[in-house]
């Protein structure tokens, strides 16, 4: 139950950040464009609206989105990897290399999360704020430990699942949500169809003089 909630929270957070960043950037671009139109009343009104913070907040949202998106990629198996040599090994050695790789990924991201926590803890005791929003800067840097620890957890989750089942998460890049997979069309040789609507194969069914099948006598 908790894992399902975490999965949904992960997806909702990424979706919300992406949608919000897109809207903010769109509004900021339209605002900047309209401010350049020399219409006294509209231009004076728009110039009073300060959207200088838009770029900064979008950068922070993309950082958070990237960190949680990386964890989502580990869970769903969409990260790009070069496994040509590993796939050529026998099952026993292949399993060892995969376990080692997942363990190394969990250790590395866990280490980054720990170092990020120490950095955030240190900077939280300072008076540093962001340039435009003027919020405590540690809030933006908090994405490092949160995303890294979540990514480490996902590596461990995939590792345990692989040890139990021997399978890794796989993402079909050709699949599109909402479109069901259909069977590929079968090639049909119209010359072999047993009906009167298509021409028959002249090689296998030669016509005689009288127009009927069979050899001439």
pLDDT at 192: 58
Burial 11-24 (b: 16+ CB within 10 A, else e): eeebeebeeebeeb
In this structure, are residues 154 and 75 in contact, taking their beta carbons and an 8 Å threshold? yes
pLDDT at 5: 79
Query: What pLDDT was estimated at residue 158?
Result: 92
Q: Give the total number of structural domains in the chain.
A: 1
- Give the per-residue pLDDT at 172: 57
**pLDDT for res 200:** 53
- Helix axis angle, 54-76 relative to 2-35, nearest 10°? 150
pTM: 0.71
Helical segments of 125-177, H only: 137-141, 143-165
Does some domain include residue 43? yes
Residue 199 lies in a domain: no
Domain that holds residue 118: 2-165
pLDDT at 35: 86
The answer as to whether 202 is a domain residue is no
Per-residue pLDDT of the chain (217 residues; tens, 9 = 90+): 777 777 788 888 899 999 999 999 999 999 888 888 888 888 888 888 888 899 999 999 999 999 999 999 998 888 767 677 887 888 888 889 899 999 999 999 999 999 999 999 999 999 999 988 889 999 999 999 999 999 999 999 999 999 998 888 876 555 545 555 555 455 555 555 565 555 555 544 444 545 454 445 4
Angle, helices 91-124 vs 143-165, to 10°: value is 160
Q: How many CB atoms lie within 10 A of CB 89?
A: 14
Per-residue confidence (pLDDT) for residue 36, from 0 to 100: 84
Query: Considering the domain boundaries, does residue 87 fall inside one?
Result: yes
Residue 90 lies in a domain: yes
Q: Is residue 79 domain-resident?
A: yes
Q: Does residue 201 sit within a domain? A: no
Longest dimension (CA), the chain: 107
According to the model, what pLDDT value does residue 217 have? 44
- Is 173 a domain residue? no
């Amino acid at each position: 139950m908790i894992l399902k909630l975490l999965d949904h929270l992960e997806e909702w957070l990424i979706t919300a950040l992406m949608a919000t960043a897109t809207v903010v950037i769109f509004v900021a671009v339209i605002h900047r464009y309209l401010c350049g139109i020399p219409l006294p009343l509209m231009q004076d009104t728009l110039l009073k609206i300060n959207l200088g913070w838009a770029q900064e907040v979008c950068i922070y949202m993309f950082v958070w989105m990237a960190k949680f998106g990386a964890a989502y990629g580990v869970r769903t198996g969409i990260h790009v990897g070069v496994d040509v040599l590993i796939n050529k090994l026998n099952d026993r050695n292949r399993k060892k290399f995969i376990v080692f790789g997942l363990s190394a990924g969990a250790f590395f991201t866990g280490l980054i999360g720990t170092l990020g926590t120490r950095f955030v803890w240190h900077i939280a005791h300072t008076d540093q704020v962001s340039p435009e929003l003027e919020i405590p800067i540690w809030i933006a840097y908090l994405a490092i430990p949160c995303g890294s620890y979540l990514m480490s957890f996902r590596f461990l989750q995939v590792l345990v699942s692989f040890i139990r089942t021997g399978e890794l998460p796989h993402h079909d890049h050709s699949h599109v949500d909402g479109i069901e997979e259909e069977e590929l069309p079968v090639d049909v040789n119209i010359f072999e169809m047993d009906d009167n609507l298509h021409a028959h194969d002249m090689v296998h069914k030669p016509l005689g003089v009288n127009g009927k099948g069979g050899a001439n006598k």
